[in-house]
Amino acid sequence: MADIIQLLPDHVANQIAAGEVVQRPASVVKELLENAIDAGAKVIKLIVKDAGKTLIQVIDDGKGMSETDARLSFERHATSKIRTAEDLFSLHTKGFRGEALASIAAIAHVELRTKQEQEELGTLIEIEGSSIKNQELTVTPKGTSIAVKHLFFNIPARRNFLKSNTVELRHIIDEFHRVALAHPDIAFVKFHNGSENFNLPVSNYRQRIVNIFGGKTNEKLVPVEEATEVLKISGFVGKPEFAKRTKNEQFFFVNNRFIKSPYLNHAINAAYEGLVKEGSHPSYFLNLTVDPKTIDINIHPTKTEIKFDDEHTLYAIIRSSVKHSLGQFNITPVLDFDRDNNLDTPYNYKNKGISTPRVDVDRSFNPFQEERSAPKSGGFSNGYSKPPAVPWESLYVGLESKGTKTEHDFSELQFESNPENVALFSEDSSLNTSQTTYQLHNKYIISTIKSGMMILDQHRAHQRVLYEGFLKHLTVKEAVSQQLLFPLVIEFSSTEMDLLLRLKEDLEHTGFVFSSFEDHKINITGVPVNVPESEVSIILEQLISDVEQEVPDSNFSATDLLAKSMSKSLAIKTGQSLSKVEQEHLVNSLFACKEPSVSPTNKVTFITMSVDDFDKKFV
């Protein structure tokens, strides 16, 4: 029988490795930025075209590479970071496995220009699909410039699985944020399709956070500082009232490396327990410094997951540190009773002796006597003299003796009680027979039908009504706006601003009127009818959250997503009491919809119960 096991060619092995390292353009961005940081760069530029599908270029002013190093950098398992297996447990750099550039070169066109400071000329290397097409000397500034073009050009199936430019760009921005936040001592600049998106100068950690997420972020931050033998924590957490519906502002860095840890994230949530409402997520930007020997960062190809020696201790330290910071800066409510000065002992009573109080009782007191005798000398008296008591015999004056009949005129007799009958149940009781609809626990609306009764979920039903209304306005483009007396100014991060700019036209069709979009601020002069001004920021945050979690693709309608998001924000909430007219209007509006049986998220809006169902319950 012939042998069937054979060694894979290098270019095939590199493509397989690329499947682990390079999942999308954002993976390339991460690897190239980390290489630039390891090279000691002080200024790093990221240039992206078509969300990385056409071009990803990283330019740094680091130490550069020699001609030999430049050539070896594209070989598999070629690295300058480790020499022995023990070095894996004392890593202070980003990349170390030597697979990044080899994997990228296997699935793209790569152009590398690099020069060391002491050299006059640099090196140019051009690679296409692991095959070197050109290598020569070139004139280039100090540092390294690496351009990755036509990603997945030789793997069409992988390229077809890439999402829309909007989705891929969002992932690139996420990776850019993670690297930039971990290194505030390095300047970062990002361009997309020729326009500058970010320009982050060298700054401290707080300024770097503000430069990325907008000026309004500064007032949200609470510093966290803690140093123990096991762990050193530094960074910031967000105030509870600024908790967001998304997890976009949650960052853990271990030894300047971004990680994902659901376990440690739970520690943060535990510290915020009772401070944020359900469905909201607190912001945090925490740097954790631990001994490299106590962690293993080589358990995941993208190195975003880390294994700790003692996670339980880290959990307790993080939770207590965050709790302490929130309490120290008066973020959490505390029991603080003001001391009453009247309770203080006067100074002139300080050395006075204690005397036993004496109470004298007038044992001769008779309440039925006409005149009360004065209290004895030295007895207790409050200085109040009670008026003479009326003799008790006078209570019966005018009454005839028993057995005699007296005529009385009751024609003018008046009762002190309220003449109206008090209802046994409140007005909104389900026993009020004058109503056709009843509200149960401020959550369900019950209505009678021929076969029995219908139970309607008021929140889902109102979502359906609003959803179809918004769809109509977005389609017909004839929404009505109500003008605000004073313009409403709301601040957003640059990423959120870009997203809202793309949705601006659709938002205007629903009734929003915008006067300007500039400097992380949006000026709103008009809102849709029946939308309270206080709800505008909540609606836009909910919209951003929904779009980020489910960004419209080419086969997905942005209009539909916008209508869903706004209907979810503005729908009647569970626990809201409705009048009889509002209940009936909601029921009638629901059954005027095209799809009354389900909410915009395909959840049941009402159920019915027949009389037979009730009969079976009483068997």
**Predicted pLDDT at 41:** 93
**Those residues with Cβ within 8 angstroms of residue 437's Cβ, 6 or more apart along the chain or in another chain:** 445, 446, 447, 580, 583, 584, 587
The predicted pLDDT at position 299 comes to: 59
**What confidence tier does 155 reach under pLDDT thresholds 50, 70, 90?**
confident
What CA–CA distance (Å, rounded) separates 538 from 66?
A: 55
pLDDT at 180: 94
Query: What rounded mean pLDDT belongs to the chain?
Result: 80
pLDDT band at 5 (very low <50, low <70, confident <90, very high): confident
What number of helices (H) and strands (E) belong to the chain?
15, 22
Nearest to 234 by CA among 316, 289, 272, 293: 289
* pLDDT in the model for residue 472: 82
Q: Which of 234-248, 350-364, 419-433 has the lowest mean pLDDT?
A: 419-433
Residue type, 423: A
437: three-class secondary structure by DSSP? strand
371 pLDDT band, cuts 50/70/90, is low
Half-sphere exposure of 213 (CA within 13 A, CB side): 24
Beta-carbon contacts of residue 589 (< 8 Å; ≥ 6 apart): 465
C-alpha–C-alpha distance, residues 326 and 219, integer Å: 14
Q: What is the pLDDT of residue 306?
A: 77
Sequence letter at residue 191: F
CA angle, 305 then 281 then 219, to 5°: 110
pTM exceeds cut of 0.75: no
Helices (H), 478-557: 494-510, 536-549
Give the pLDDT band of residue 417 (cuts 50, 70, 90). low
- For residue 172, pLDDT beyond 90: yes
Cα 346 to Cα 463: distance, rounded to the nearest angstrom:
65
Q: Which of the four pLDDT bands, split at 50, 70 and 90, describes residue 111?
A: very high
| 271-325 residue pLDDT tens | 998 888 887 889 999 999 998 888 777 656 666 777 788 888 999 999 999 999 9
Q: Which of 175-179, 326-330, 341-345, 562-566 has the highest mean pLDDT?
A: 175-179
Question: What is the per-residue pLDDT for 321?
Answer: 93
User: Higher pLDDT residue, 288 or 472?
Assistant: 288
Judged against a pLDDT cut of 60, whether residue 360 lies above it is answered with: yes
Give residue 555's pLDDT. Answer: 42
pLDDT of residue 225: 93
Tell me: pLDDT of 328 over 60. yes
Both tokens of 92, joined, read 């202070």
Give the whole-angstrom CA distance, residue 321 versus residue 287: 13
Q: Is 453 in a helix, a strand, or coil?
A: strand
The dihedral over CA atoms of 59, 499, 278, 461, expressed in degrees to the nearest 10, equals -160
**pLDDT higher than 50, residue 430:** no
pLDDT the model gives residue 199: 92
Residues 6+ apart with CB under 8 A from 21: 27, 31, 99, 100, 103, 104, 301, 302
- Alpha-carbon gap, residue 148 to 59, rounded angstroms: 12
Lowest mean pLDDT among 84-88, 185-189, 458-462, 540-544: 84-88
Name the pairing type of β-strands 195-200 and 187-192: antiparallel
Q: Give the Cα-Cα-Cα angle 416, 418, 423 (nearest 5 degrees).
A: 150
pLDDT at 45 over 90: yes
Give the residue with greater pLDDT, 63 vs 372: 63
Confidence of residue 368 (pLDDT cuts 50, 70, 90): confident
Question: Which contacts (CB < 8 Å, 24+ apart) does range 386-389 have?
Answer: none
pLDDT at position 407 over 70: no
Q: In the chain, what are the domain boundaries?
A: 10-200, 209-328, 446-607
Architecture of the domain delimited by 209-328:
2-Layer Sandwich (3.30)
For residue range 193-230, list pLDDT tens digits in order.
988 889 999 999 999 999 998 877 888 899 999 998 88
With a pLDDT cut of 70, the percent of the chain lying above it is: 77
Is 249 or 336 the better-scoring residue by pLDDT?
A: 249
CATH 3.30.565.10 fits 10-200, yes or no: yes
What are the pLDDT digits (tens) for 545-580?
777 766 554 445 667 777 888 888 888 888 888 888
Helix axes 558-570, 494-510, angle to 10 degrees: 90
Reported confidence tier of residue 493, pLDDT bands at 50, 70, 90: confident
| Among 333, 312, 317, residue whose Cα is nearest residue 225 | 317
Tokens 């059954």, residue? 591
User: In percent, how much of the chain has pLDDT > 90?
Assistant: 27
pLDDT score of 431? 42
Rounded Cα distance between 297 and 309, Å, is 12
Question: Band of the pLDDT at 335, cuts 50, 70, 90?
Answer: low
d(CA 572, CA 599): 13
Q: Is the pLDDT of residue 256 over 60?
A: yes
> At the top level of CATH, which class does the domain 446-607 belong to?
alpha beta
Predicted pLDDT at 567? 86
Amino acid of residue 526: G
- What interhelical angle do 262-271 and 311-328 show, nearest 10? 30
